[in-house]
Amino acid sequence: MTTTMAQLPDFRLETYFSRWEFTARHHLAASDAQTMTMAEILALAGPEDREAWDTLALGYTETFGDPGLRRAIAGMYDRVEADDVLCFGGAQEAINLAMQVLLGPGDHAVVVTPCYQSAETIPLSLCEVTGVALDEHEDWALDLDAVEAALRPNTRVVSVNFPNNPTGKVIPAADFARLVELCEERGIRLFSDEVYRGLEADPARTLPQAADLSQSALSLNVVSKSLGLAGLRIGWIACRDRELRSRLERAKHYTTICNSAPSEILARIAVTARESILARNRAIIAENTPRFDAFFAEFGDLFEWRAPDGGCAAFPRYLGADGVEAFCAGLVEEAGVLLLPASAYRSELTPTPTDRFRLGIGRRDPGPALEAFGDWLRKR
């Protein structure tokens, strides 16, 4: 299905969270991993980074990002250098500016759904967009033939997200490599949202990063999700096309100009220590998964449950006659347990499930939330 240009609509997910995220007693919809305190991050700092923190002057920073942070980020990749990295105020700014730079009237984009709303609505505000839906009946498989069929002579961008939010899907590495080839063969930019990389249930299924596989591809990442440091508001795009990186930097002059100096130093510490943080967060998910398995097994008549391949978000199906929207509303209003209903992932491009909800499994001690959730279900 193809839709033409439109103005940006209300951001359904963020509007819902504005109402409930900080008022609900139990947040079971979180898409980020367990966070850390300032003391915990600073305890991970090496002597150089600790000195940088202690002597930090609170002036403007470089638009491209702190040089030390960019070097640390480049260390996450096989073929990316520090000069190939541009830092942003979170992933949202990066998504917005990348699409503004890459797309315009007369262009065409392909977006894989379901997805974070801005990955769809920002391109739609700029040009024609075709959606390709993951197949929920085939374990959320990506149909590469459908992607290829959606491409046009004026296609400029193909946008994907793996591990996927909200499904937790990780596609086979061979499929991802073929997707890169499809884009390279036609001179199309692959925009790859990789914010959950590092939280795969099976590390052997970790996908290569698009910026390593292709000179023209863009890899999006952020400290918010896998590292659980959303409060720092630091994201980045890695791309080995220096001319494009320069265009992105000039676009940033119209938004944040530069990032928070304290956040960049803290992000530098975290990225440098990423392996230990990721190991901690994978362990939390591994500990939580059997608890969610057992919970949904108890209420098997109400739910279809599948743990994510990667990341810390899952997308179970609700089977109740009242429908998932009423179910989620009743749960948060009556039991104080927040889930994110399917309407947050509604797409203008493709059909999307209307009977699912997003559930987060990356936070410590979900026990009290599951207890309140279970008590509410048993009383209905």
Nearest to residue 252, comparing CAs of 80, 73, 66, 96? Answer: 96
What was the pLDDT predicted at 13? 80
d(CA 372, CA 377): 9
Report whether pLDDT(4) > 50.
Answer: no
* 135 and 143 Cβ atoms separated by less than 8 Å: yes
> What is the tens place of the pLDDT at every residue in 316-366?
999 999 999 999 999 999 999 999 999 999 999 999 999 999 999 999 999
> What is the tens place of the pLDDT at every residue in 207-259?
999 999 999 999 999 999 999 999 999 999 999 999 999 999 999 999 999 99
What was the pLDDT predicted at 172? 98
- pLDDT tier for residue 1 given thresholds of 50, 70 and 90: low
What was the pLDDT predicted at 6? 52
212, 228, 287, 322, 372 from 270: Cα distances, Å: 22, 10, 23, 44, 34
> What is the tens place of the pLDDT at every residue in 355-364?
999 999 999 9
Q: Which residues contact 308 (CB under 8 A, 6 or more apart)?
A: 163, 167, 168, 169, 201, 314, 361
Report whether pLDDT(310) > 70.
Answer: yes
Domains of the chain are: 2-37+276-375 (3.90.1150.10), 55-274 (3.40.640.10)
> What is the tens place of the pLDDT at every residue in 123-179?
999 999 999 999 999 999 999 999 999 999 999 999 999 999 999 999 999 999 999
- pLDDT tier for residue 5 given thresholds of 50, 70 and 90: very low
Weakest mean pLDDT among 2-11, 82-91, 138-147, 246-255: 2-11
Furthest-apart CA atoms within the chain: distance in Å: 60
Classify residue 152 by burial, with Cβ atoms within 10 Å: 0-12, 13-18, 19+: middle
Report whether pLDDT(86) > 80.
Answer: yes
62, 162, 207, 221 from 279: Cα distances, Å: 31, 19, 17, 18
Nearest to residue 107, comparing CAs of 46, 171, 181, 159? Answer: 159
Give pTM, 2 decimals: 0.96
* 112 and 132 Cβ atoms separated by less than 8 Å: yes
- pLDDT tier for residue 16 given thresholds of 50, 70 and 90: confident
